[in-house]
Amino acid sequence: MPSHSTEPTRIDAAVPARAGAGLKADHVQDVLDTGADIGFFEVHAENYMGAGGVPHRQLEAIRERYPLSLHGVGLSIGGEQPLDKSHLQRLADLNRRYEPGLFSEHLAWSTHDTTYFNDLLPVPYDKATLDRVCDHIDEVQEKVGRKMLLENPSTYVAFEQSTMSELDFLKEITRRTGCGLLLDVNNVHVSSTNHARSAIEYLQDFPMDRVGEIHLGGHAPDVDDAGRPLLIDAHDREVDDAVWALYETVVERNGPVPTLIEWDNDVPAWPVLLAEAQAADRILSQESGAGFKRAV
């Protein structure tokens, strides 16, 4: 067997303050054949929880050549019930196996009782939820043995029972748990539009010193029950101009941060995704002078 027979030689794990792309199985051959010049790749952890075969072979080949970010989508950190211990173990195992430079999950829930919903469902911003989320993050960081980044959500409804703003909620989580934040600028634009808030003000108040990674992705426009704009976090197209503009202000103010282009549905050919990453790289390099700084 070609795999595991020798200890693979891997590039350094640290993710640079450059642009990366979400890894798609259909792109792996193109990436390897062309030796694509890109800062890092990010994968959804759950896609690599099988025992063996092509997915692991591809991921190992990528990991040998590029830094990796491991992004969980199914842990249900915002869930009302205790974390799924076997799932947490799988996440810890993947962290050990691939030594990603970044590890992140979501402020959302996706499991209730024994049912998994396969979507990032919203949580109320109240004290009971805050306590639970903090306990869960403590548990994750202890089990995995490293700091995680928590991603701000895209939401379509607000909870009447919320007693805090999303920002205060996130700030309190990082303060209590020491976790970092994954700032999804598309999510900021989507949620701000959906809840008639100012994205600019949200970003001005965002605890940038906690941000270890940025996400950019495409969204789909729709309208809500009252005919107001409703944006859907679809990851099915190019990054919107409004999101690029917000991103530029973030980078201008705070300097370069590893930045991921997410494109998960209607996935284009590799050169199209690479071009999006290059667009982010141009913005990052304007702010970092001659060279790219390393992420913390």
Partner 1 sequence: MNVPEFPTRVGSGEFGQAIWDPEAETPSGLTGPDGLTAPKRFSVYRNNVIVSLSEALEQTFPAIRNLLGEDYFKALARAFVVRHPPTSPVLLWYGAEFAGFIEAFPPLEAYPYLADVARVEWAWLQSYHAADAAPMDPAALGSVDPEALGTVRFEKHPATDMVVSRWPVWDLMRVNRFEPDAEIDVDLEASQSVLITRPDYDVNLLLLRPGGDVFLNALLSGAMLGEAAASAQAQVEEFSLSDCLSDCLSNGAFKDLVTA
Q: Smallest gap, in angstroms, from Cβ of residue 106 to partner 1?
A: 12
Report the distance separating Cα 101 and Cα 80, nearest Å: 30
Q: Smallest gap, in angstroms, from Cβ of residue 12 to partner 1?
A: 26
Question: Cα Rg for the chain, rounded, in angstroms?
Answer: 19
Nearer to partner 1, 19 or 75 (CB): 75
Residue with tokens 């642009």: 19
Strand partners, 104: 71, 149
Strands (E), 176-245: 180-184, 211-217, 220-223, 229-232
Q: Smallest gap, in angstroms, from Cβ of residue 37 to partner 1?
A: 27
Residue with tokens 């934040």: 181
Nearer to partner 1, 120 or 183 (CB): 120
Tell me which H or E stretch contains 80: none
DSSP state of 196: T
Nearer to partner 1, 52 or 145 (CB): 52
Q: Smallest gap, in angstroms, from Cβ of residue 124 to partner 1?
A: 7
Q: Smallest gap, in angstroms, from Cβ of residue 76 to partner 1?
A: 7
Nearer to partner 1, 184 or 287 (CB): 184
Residues at the interface with partner 1 (CB under 8 A): 1-4, 46-47, 49-57, 73-76, 79-80, 84, 87, 90, 109-119, 121, 124, 156-165, 194-196, 222, 224-226, 228, 230, 232
Nearer to partner 1, 57 or 176 (CB): 57
| Contact assessment for residue 182 and residue 214, using Cβ atoms and an 8 Å cutoff | yes
